[in-house]
Structure 1
Amino acid sequence: MPHLTRRAFAAGLVVLPYARGATAASVPYNLQAERSTVGFVYRLSGQPAKGTMPIKRATVSIDVNALQRSSLDVEVDVRRAKTGLIFATEALKAASVLDAKRHPTIRFTSTAVRLNGNGNLSDGAEIDGMLTIKSTKAPITLRAALFRQAGTEAGDLRQLSFRVNGSVSRAAFGASGYADLVEDAIDLDIIARVIRA
């Protein structure tokens, strides 16, 4: 995935201002799929390893005047998941884990956005939502921050980037195969870039 180091993250993303003068309405944004992905970290025999899944579809609405009214609905493509290790990728897609043949997508739908700091999503927020894996749906809370894309002018909110982090229990979704080799917790690191529709 386009992993961002601390230095690149600070230099490459410009903080999104709280646009108080904007019209109070949610605005749709289109996903820049080629610049977005879901990254994850799993622990194989105690050692961290990384993988990615491409975002298949996303519906993003952002209300810059009341960011808590923003919403997110995302599906990722399990069949195109990669781990960097062929055997690990095949195990990930196996019936005892994500069962990619029967359940080719994972879906997250937000239900609430709770802002931190001064009301800017760039100060960080918690996004509550429902995560669906293998037809099992359960609530989850993710951490998020929203930024203007690098190179855009102050106040130009047409192109945005957001980063989302969190952790998922495999067992909670019936994806606990190979438990003797792979730990239960999967850490998420999602980078998504969107452009105003």
Structure 2
Amino acid sequence: MTRLRRRDLVAALAALVATAPAFAAPVPYALARSKTLIAFTFQLSGTPQTGTMPIRTADVWVDTRRLQNSRATVVLDVARAETRLPFAREPMLGPEVLDAARFPTIQFRSTRIRLGRGGRISDGATITGDLTLRGVTRPIVLQAALYRPPGSARDELDRLSIHLTGALNRHVFGASGYADLVGPTVGLDIRAEIERKP
């Protein structure tokens, strides 16, 4: 290849790089803990009950150009779970249900995001992930929504709100204690706010 042709090739590649669209990559977001609530529901003797469980750690990455490339790993603190019925808390954390002494955390790791209508994480979007509870890992699908603050500009993405809902069968994870009193289905309602890290 002659020097001239080499120079032309280098110039063409440089021009291609300069005009190619910039592809965003996932960027880290921090969890605003004071604005985050992990709530769960269950049936006790046929009566709906609620509880909460705090987050121990959260590793969240959002790709604002290709939302399906976003990912998250969240670890919950089992020992600090609460219910509105104080007498139900100890059995819930005991060896027959969550067994907090042996399994102090619950982990969710996303594996796939399916976008909703209009390519958004809302309007029917789902997040599939692996849930590890009592040392047992099973897939779970959560309905997902990701929002900007009301009134914010379209490109204002420094602060985002997340709403996830879903359900699991506790028996699949071995948390089968008190089956005569507590129903098998545990509902999940997760609301969180995340902020882009500097």
TM-score (norm 2): 0.85
Match for residue 193 of structure 2? Answer: 193
RMSD: 1.4
Post-superposition offset of 1:22: 7.7
| Deviation string, structure 1 residues 83-107 (Cα, Å, up to 9, x no partner) | 0111111111010000011111100
8 A Cα contact 1:40 1:186, kept in partner: yes
User: In terms of mean alpha carbon deviation, does 151-160 or 107-116 score higher?
Assistant: 151-160
- Give unmatched runs, 5+ long, in structure 1: 1-20
- Cα separation, 2, equivalents of 1:43 and 1:22: 50
Percent pairwise identity: 47
Aligned match of 1:62: 62
Task: Name the structure 2 match of 1:111.
Answer: 111
When normalised by structure 1's length, the TM-score is 0.86
Cα distance in structure 1, aligned partners of 2:169 and 2:140? 10
Counterparts of 1:183 and 1:138 in 2: how far apart (Å)? 19
Show the counterpart of 2:13. none
Letter of the 1:188 partner, please give it. L
AA at the equivalent of 1:134: R
By how many angstroms is 1:170 displaced?
Answer: 0.6
Q: Which residue of 1 aligns with 2:134?
A: 134
Report the Cα distance in structure 1 between the residues aligned to 2:181 and 2:149, rounded to whole angstroms.
39
- Amino acid aligned to 2:192: A
Structure 2 counterpart of 1:28: 28
- What amino acid sits opposite 1:132 in the alignment? T
Task: Indicate conservation of the 8 Å contact 1:142/1:164, yes or no.
Answer: yes
Deviation of 1:151 after TM superposition, in Å, equals: 5.7
For 1:88, the equivalent position in structure 2 comes to 88
Is residue 115–residue 122 contact of structure 2 (8 Å, CA) maintained in 1?
no
Per-residue deviation, residues 61-116 of structure 1 (Å, max 9, x unmatched): 11111111000100111111010111111111010000011111100000010112
CA distance in 1, matches of 2:48, 2:149: 30
- Whichever residue aligns with residue 139 of structure 2, its letter is P
Greater helix fraction, Structure 1 or Structure 2: 2
Deviations 1:1-56 (A, max 9, x none): xxxxxxxxxxxxxxxxxxxx984211110011121121011000111111000111
Q: Is the 8 A contact 1:22 1:65 kept in 2?
A: no
C-alpha separation in 2, matches of 1:160 and 1:23: 21
Q: For the structure 1 residues 128 and 56, does the alpha-carbon distance in structure 2 shift closer, same or farther, using more than 3 Å as the test?
A: same
Match of residue 79 from structure 1: 79
- 1:148 matched residue in structure 2: 148
Larger RCO: 1 or 2 (CA < 8 Å, sep 6+): 1
Residue 16 of structure 2 aligns with which residue? none
Count of aligned pairs: 177
State the match for 2:6 in structure 1.
none
**SS class of match (2:118):** coil
Aligned partner of residue 68 in structure 2, secondary structure: helix
Deviation at 1:150, TM superposition (A): 3.9
